[in-house]
Structure formats: C-alpha cells, structure tokens
Structure 1
C-alpha cells in the first residue's frame, strides 16, 4: 500500500537486472555467461522474469502487503541513516514525485524456472526477518512467466529487485 510521501515499497522492483549489468550465472558454480556473450533471447527472458516478479510484489495480496509493510517499516526506521548514502545518477522518486533521500534497498534474487516457465526455486540473501523472507519466497514461488525459458538458457536467472522504488 502506498502512503502519501512514502515510496511504494514494491514499486519498480524490476528492471535492474543483474544479467544486464554483470552476468547470467550457470548453475551454482563460478561458470557464467557474460552480458556480451549472452543471447538476446536470454536477456529478454530475464527481463520478463523480472517484470513478472515485480508484478507479484506489487500485487494487492495479503502476502505482498505483509512483505511491503516490512520494508515500509524498515524505511521508516532506517531512512535517516540511509539519507547519508549517495544517490544514483538516476534519482529514485517518492510517490509524490520528490526524490527519495536514499537509495532503496535491492535484493539479488536467483530464480530457477521449469520447462513451462513456472518459478520452481529462488535464493536470496538474508533480509533480516524470517516472516518477510517466507513471504517473499512464497510470493515468488507462486509465479509463472507464462512461456518456457529459451532453449539452452543457463540458470539460475539472476535479477536485482529494487524494493521501495516507484515504477
């Protein structure tokens, strides 16, 4: 839920793909495919995965609201400390259009999909709250991209979700 003057917590989670800034990882080992060598179809699919997960986190379900509330409370508590952090070149905006005084937190999420495009496994770093982590996992595992991954695409698909930014 957006409150006036507060960031939409799950807004714009998407499009900062780790695959588009660093690499697409192949399995759990150190082997990866660089952005320069990744086929365009893989990059487009990673973008679609990111958008699908963004939509889930922006939804009006009880689980999404609980997850968003966790980060709203985090922003309320820690925004003062974060205000000292430098902003990115592309300043984030509050729901009223004003720039946020800090960079919204980001989550690096590894996503594995089955042959139909259903999310079957996710991994992310500890976010500091067991309930919020369970909500995030539940939300993401319930998603389907709607189309199968491109043939021979390396998994997991690694994306960054920017929690708290507006779309």
Structure 2
C-alpha cells in the first residue's frame, strides 16, 4: 500500500522473455531454442531466473537505480536484450547490451548482473553467449 508521500504506487519486477529469445549463440553460429539440448535450456532458464532476481534486489543500489530509471523512461527498449558469456567458475566474464543512453544506468545494469558468480557453471558443451531478453513488468 503506497502512502501519499511514497512515489512507489506499484511493485514492478523483471521477468524473462522466452528466456533465450529463441537463441543460444556462439559467434555467428546460432542454435534455435527448439533445437538446443534440454540441458542447455535448463541451464539458460536457471541463469535467466538468477539474473531476474538480481535486478529485483531491494538492497542493491545498482538494481534500484536501474529500476527507477526504467520507470522514468517508459520508452526504453523492451525487452532489454543482454548477451552473457559465463566462465567455467560461473562468473559472468562478459556482458553485452545496447546502451540505454545513460552511462550510469549502463554501469548499474552491468554491476547488478555481474555482482557475483552464478550458482553453477555452464555445461561444458554449451554454446555461448546466452542471449536473454528481460522485460520490466507491473
């Protein structure tokens, strides 16, 4: 319940969009989600869920600034497409996305997503990067 002094009138959160946008890519080669092995898809779903949680962390100032910025900019790209490379220890070794047009917001997105290693490393045979689409929801 929002008070009169509280700008937040609804809780918004992130959800994955087709958790891979249909692609697992390696360089210019890609594999459709329909053709990807089940263990790749299971891992991608796990990563998507983890990144979604990171973007909803109320105690993370990076995530909160990003959320506030997106709420103030309803014309921001949707979904927010990120390409993620994951090292053998589960750390996100590389992260690419189109700039949101604000260097601080881009840095907050990067910091929130790369804060800690993922709970599990990728399958050894999995192609990378994972292309994930994240959408802000009401």
Any unmatched runs of 5+ in structure 1? Answer: 83-103
Q: Which residue of 1 aligns with 2:37?
A: 39
Secondary structure of 1:154's counterpart equals: coil
Kindly provide the CA deviation profile for residues 67-119 of structure 1, in whole angstroms up to 9, marking residues without a partner as x: 111111113xx5xxx9xxxxxxxxxxxxxxxxxxxxx8211100011112121
Match of 2:127 in 1: 154
Calculate the TM-score normalised by the size of structure 2. 0.85
Aligned partners of 1:119 and 1:141 also within 8 Å: yes
Considering fraction of residues, name the structure with more strand. Answer: 2
Unaligned segments of structure 2, at least 5 residues: 1-5
Q: In structure 1, which of residues 118, 139, 144 is the aligned counterpart of residue 112 of structure 2?
A: 139
- Does the 8 Å CA contact 1:107/1:161 hold for their aligned counterparts? yes
Question: TM-score of the superposition, structure 1-length normalised?
Answer: 0.71
Root mean square deviation of aligned Cα: 2.2
Number of corresponding residues: 132
